[in-house]
């Protein structure tokens, strides 16, 4: 069985985490970062890049580098504001009114779900590399205020990425899981989540393994990106006043402004002012133009005042929905990079009158909570119960375009609600069920989730037919609707998949395209590894030749060394030309030559060691023989002349003594009494 991970699919950055030994662990990517930029780019060669490598392409390749895609997922083109469309790449409308992102490099349009799937795939691959086992499932977080369409689109993205989405969980709920997992005492927690593209605020009651969401609300079009855009506009307006050039109309200049604005926003969280320098930002007939200015924190807070006021609206609303006052909140947990802005922290502290809890990492806490939920589903985490809520009201359109609300917002999920409906016209044989989501009174002002017809009704006067409509909302916030005619028993059931901007055939096509990209990526990876292996073999062979020249030059023939050098050159030429056949052949020949040379050196070394061994033995024998003689000499010095003669004679057999006396003349020896030595 494959592993289940937790994924925080963010607007700006994404994170993946997993449960190991009962504890959540954030997985670092191959670049060494614990967060992965939610950026996708296509290089000049058409290669797909995801993460930090893609982000580096943003300035020089703006039309083929895609960021903040989460803002488009599950939405229609008509739902976008002018500000939302202001990115360095092209966002267009297709025949169905859905959003498509144009990629000139590939001459292809991508749905936001497809691009999000590429980020998910990157995270899953990193988790697989870290764990050493396949990852088959994931718990993916979404903003609490995501509607059914956006949630379904997120599930589609996971499906396109080739994994099973086990659960969709709200980001503030995931953050509360990470914050309160080990807490036994009951607490009411306010989770303030200001991410890159969305804002959510939730109130939860946490304690003794129970996590109950009391209320949640937010704004899916308010996040850190909007604070960046304010700085971009401020810089662009200043530049227009000084130079008469609108930098927002140039893709490359806009991207440089966006990056500079994000950097300035981050710096102003710790310092009072920051320098913004962008040389050669554009050029006119008079020459290049540069941007050089200073932004103070007080200026930044002033130009962002409208955004700060927008944060107040959901804050006030969530207390009203939860029927609580700010004084009843025990802890405030900040989530998302946007909460590092000092003005945002001051706003929260002023309303709640409590210092926000900063014991959790705002960038990682959501992924950690998703991993905990994954652990609950896999059985690795026990005794934890999560009770989430639906963020928006779901109902049925009735006569006159009004809404009959079946599931009010902040209803605990999963849930099932039913109501009885009738016909509006005489002799009506079918009824259309139109499901909508939102808080407005008129259906046309809310999000349409889907329509279907219940046919086969008996002709009757209006108001006589009885149709049961049941809403079944699962733990992911995905809706199924059943309509039943009580008289005939005719039933029609539908799962609201039409809420996704992709129909099933498009999803299947996207999966096939993703697999093609995966195959291409694998082929590219295999080729890179092949080139690396060949290059490593060249380096190893060159090292071996150098080693031979230093230590074994007398043992290897000149012809053998020339042959090795020739084989190395052949492989280097094959690598340079990227000729697969020539590379395989040259690599095989060089490997064989290296092996043979290594074998010969090994055998020669063994012979040398054998000679050294026997030479050592001979030396030991000689040393031992000499040592006996030395011992004799020592004994000579220790004894008197007479004793010496007696000792020598006693050691000899009669024949030995006689033969030795015949072989050599006797030696006259005198003993010096003063020096106690033999002379």
Q: How far is CA 358 from CA 192, 330, 362, 672, in A?
A: 12, 14, 8, 98
d(CA 336, CA 133): 30
| Listed range (39-43, 297-301, 421-425) with the worst mean pLDDT | 421-425
Q: Please report, rounded to a whole number, the percentage of residues in the chain having pLDDT higher than 70.
A: 80
User: Contact, 82 vs 142, CB < 8 A?
Assistant: no
Q: What angle do CA 181, 390, 12 make, to 5 degrees?
A: 70
Q: In this structure, what DSSP letter does residue 271 have?
A: S
Q: What is the mean pLDDT of residues 396-402?
A: 82
Q: What is the mean pLDDT of residues 39-65?
A: 89
Tell me the longest C-alpha to C-alpha distance in the chain.
155
Query: Is the predicted pLDDT of residue 305 greater than 90, yes or no?
Result: yes
Q: Which residue has the tokens 């809890």?
A: 357
The pLDDT confidence band at residue 257, using thresholds 50, 70 and 90, is very high
Q: What is the mean pLDDT of residues 81-106?
A: 84
Q: In this structure, what DSSP letter does residue 247 have?
A: G
CB-based contacts of 49-52 (< 8 A; 24+ apart in sequence)? 50/118, 50/119, 50/121, 50/122, 51/119, 51/122
d(CA 105, CA 270): 40
Q: How far is CA 430 from CA 64, 195, 399, 402, 481, in A?
A: 49, 46, 14, 19, 16
User: Contact, 56 vs 66, CB < 8 A?
Assistant: no
| Listed range (61-65, 261-265, 583-587) with the worst mean pLDDT | 583-587
Active site residues: 8, 70, 171, 193
The neighbouring-strand residues paired with 433 are 452
pLDDT at 303: 94
pLDDT at 520: 66
The pLDDT confidence band at residue 493, using thresholds 50, 70 and 90, is confident
- Same fold: 3-224+307-388 with 505-613: no
DSSP string for residues in 540-573: HHHHHHHHHHHH-TTTS-HHHHHHHHHHHHHHHH
User: Contact, 229 vs 344, CB < 8 A?
Assistant: no
Q: What is the mean pLDDT of residues 254-283?
A: 92
Q: In this structure, what DSSP letter does residue 79 have?
A: G
d(CA 19, CA 75): 33
> Which CATH code, of 1.10.3080.10, 1.20.1270.10, 3.40.50.970, 3.40.710.10, is assigned to 505-613?
1.20.1270.10
Q: How far is CA 610 from CA 19, 528, 599, 602, 619, in A?
A: 57, 44, 16, 12, 14
The pLDDT confidence band at residue 144, using thresholds 50, 70 and 90, is confident
Structural fold of domain 3-224+307-388: Nucleotidyltransferase; domain 5 (3.30.420)
| Listed range (160-169, 191-200, 458-467, 621-630) with the worst mean pLDDT | 621-630
d(CA 162, CA 120): 9
pLDDT at 368: 92
d(CA 154, CA 9): 9
Q: First-to-last CA distance in the chain?
A: 94
pLDDT at 387: 73
Each residue's pLDDT tens digit, 507-557: 566 666 666 666 666 666 677 777 778 888 888 888 777 777 666 655 566
Structural fold of domain 390-495: Substrate Binding Domain Of DNAk; Chain A, domain 1 (2.60.34)
Query: Is the predicted pLDDT of residue 498 greater than 50, yes or no?
Result: no
d(CA 96, CA 502): 10
d(CA 182, CA 215): 22
Pairing of strands 135-142, 3-8: parallel
Which parts of 552-674 fold into alpha helices (H)? 558-577, 580-638, 641-651, 654-663
| Listed range (70-84, 239-253, 620-634) with the worst mean pLDDT | 620-634
Q: For the chain, which residues make up each domain, given as ranges?
A: 3-224+307-388, 390-495, 505-613
DSSP string for residues in 298-331: HHHHHHTHHHHHHHHHHHHHHHHHHT--GGG--E
pLDDT at 606: 65
Q: Please report, rounded to a whole number, the percentage of residues in the chain having pLDDT higher than 90.
A: 24
pLDDT at 14: 94
What SS3 class is residue 449? strand
d(CA 658, CA 113): 112
Each residue's pLDDT tens digit, 586-605: 888 888 887 777 777 676 66
Q: Could you tell me the two tokens for 205?
A: 């009651």
pLDDT at 647: 46
Cis peptide before 414 (omega within 30 of 0): yes
Query: Is the predicted pLDDT of residue 627 greater than 70, yes or no?
Result: no
Please give the order of strands across the beta sheet that includes 40-42. Answer: 48-50, 40-42, 65-66
Residue count of the chain:
679
Query: Is the predicted pLDDT of residue 149 greater than 90, yes or no?
Result: no
pLDDT at 217: 87
pLDDT at 496: 62
Pick from 111, 197, 125: which is nearest to 154 by CA? 111
Give the count of beta carbons closer than 10 Å to the beta carbon of residue 438.
19
Q: In this structure, what DSSP letter does residue 438 have?
A: S
Q: Which of 645 and 26 is assigned the larger pLDDT?
A: 26
User: Contact, 98 vs 77, CB < 8 A?
Assistant: yes
Query: Is the predicted pLDDT of residue 472 greater than 90, yes or no?
Result: no
Pairing of strands 467-473, 415-421: antiparallel
pLDDT at 41: 94
| Listed range (22-26, 53-57, 413-417, 643-647) with the worst mean pLDDT | 643-647
Query: Is the predicted pLDDT of residue 661 greater than 60, yes or no?
Result: no
The whole-chain average pLDDT of the chain stands at 80
Q: Which of 421 and 651 is assigned the larger pLDDT?
A: 421
Pairing of strands 412-413, 385-389: antiparallel
Pick from 80, 62, 61: which is nearest to 71 by CA? 80
Query: Is the predicted pLDDT of residue 247 greater than 80, yes or no?
Result: yes
pLDDT at 655: 44
Each residue's pLDDT tens digit, 100-125: 999 999 888 999 999 999 999 999 99
Each residue's pLDDT tens digit, 315-347: 888 999 889 998 899 888 888 888 999 999 999
Q: What is the mean pLDDT of residues 282-286?
A: 87
């Amino acid at each position: 069985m494959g592993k289940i991970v937790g994924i925080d699919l963010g607007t700006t950055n994404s994170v993946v985490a997993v449960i190991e030994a009962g504890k959540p662990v954030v997985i670092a990517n191959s670049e060494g970062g614990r967060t992965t930029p939610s950026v996708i780019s296509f290089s000049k060669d058409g290669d797909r890049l995801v993460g930090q490598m893609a982000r580096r392409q943003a300035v020089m390749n703006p039309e083929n580098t895609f960021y903040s895609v989460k803002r488009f997922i599950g939405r229609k083109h008509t739902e976008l504001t002018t500000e939302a469309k202001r990115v360095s790449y092209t966002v267009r409308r297709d025949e169905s009114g859905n959003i498509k992102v144009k990629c000139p490099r590939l001459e292809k349009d991508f749905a936001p779900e497809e691009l999000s799937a590429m980020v998910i795939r990157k995270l899953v691959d990193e988790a697989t590399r870290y764990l050493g086992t396949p990852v088959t499932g994931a718990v993916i977080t979404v903003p609490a205020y995501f509607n059914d369409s956006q949630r379904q689109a997120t599930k589609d993205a996971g499906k396109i990425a080739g994994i099973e989405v086990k659960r969709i969980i709200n980001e503030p709920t995931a953050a509360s899981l990470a914050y309160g997992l080990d807490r036994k005492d009951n607490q009411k927690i306010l989770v303030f989540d200001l991410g890159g593209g969305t804002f959510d605020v939730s109130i939860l009651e946490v304690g003794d393994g129970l996590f109950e969401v009391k209320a949640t609300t937010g704004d899916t079009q308010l996040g850190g990106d909007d604070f960046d855009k304010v700085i971009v506009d401020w810089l662009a307006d200043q530049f227009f006043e000084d130079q008469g050039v609108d930098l927002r109309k140039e893709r490359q200049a806009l991207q440089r402004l966006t990056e500079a604005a994000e950097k300035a926003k981050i710096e102003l969280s710790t310092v009072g002012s920051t320098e913004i320098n962008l040389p050669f930002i554009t050029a006119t007939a008079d020459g290049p133009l540069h941007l050089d200015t200073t932004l103070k924190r007080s200026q930044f807070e002033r130009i962002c005042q409208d955004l700060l006021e927008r944060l107040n609206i959901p804050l006030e609303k969530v207390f009203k929905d939860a029927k609580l006052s700010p004084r009843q909140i025990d802890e405030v947990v900040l989530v998302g990079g946007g909460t590092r802005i000092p003005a945002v922290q001051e706003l929260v502290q002023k309303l709640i009158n409590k210092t926000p809890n900063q014991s959790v990492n705002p960038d990682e806490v959501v992924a950690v909570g998703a991993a905990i939920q994954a652990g609950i589903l896999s059985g690795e985490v026990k005794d934890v119960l999560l009770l989430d809520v639906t963020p928006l009201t779901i109902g049925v359109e009735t006569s006159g375009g009004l809404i009959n609300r079946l599931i009010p917002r902040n209803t605990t999920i999963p849930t099932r609600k039913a109501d009885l409906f009738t016909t509006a016209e005489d002799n009506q044989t079918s009824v259309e069920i139109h499901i909508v989501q939102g808080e407005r009174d008129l259906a046309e002002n809310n999000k349409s989730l889907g329509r279907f017809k219940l046919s086969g009704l008996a002709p009757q006067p209006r108001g006589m037919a009885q149709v049961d409509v049941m809403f079944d909302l699962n733990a992911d916030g995905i809706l199924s609707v059943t309509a039943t005619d009580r008289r005939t028993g005719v039933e029609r059931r539908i799962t609201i998949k039409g809420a996704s901007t992709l129909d099933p055939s498009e999803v299947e096509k996207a999966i096939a395209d993703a697999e093609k990209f995966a195959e291409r990526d694998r082929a590219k990876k295999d080729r890179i590894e092949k080139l690396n292996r060949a290059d490593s073999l060249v380096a190893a062979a060159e090292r071996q030749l150098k080693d031979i020249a230093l230590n074994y030059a007398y043992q290897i023939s000149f012809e053998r060394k020339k042959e090795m050098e020739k084989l190395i050159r052949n492989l280097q030429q094959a690598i340079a030309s990227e000729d697969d056949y020539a590379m395989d052949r040259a690599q095989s020949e060089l490997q064989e030559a290296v092996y043979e040379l290594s074998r010969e050196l090994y055998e020669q070394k063994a012979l040398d060691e054998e000679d050294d061994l026997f030479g050592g033995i001979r030396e030991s024998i000689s040393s031992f023989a000499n040592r006996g003689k030395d011992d004799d000499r020592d004994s000579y010095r220790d004894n008197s002349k007479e004793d010496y003669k007696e000792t020598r004679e006693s050691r000899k057999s009669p024949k030995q003594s006689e033969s030795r006396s015949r072989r050599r003349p006797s030696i006259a020896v005198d003993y010096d009494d003063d020096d106690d030595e033999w002379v």
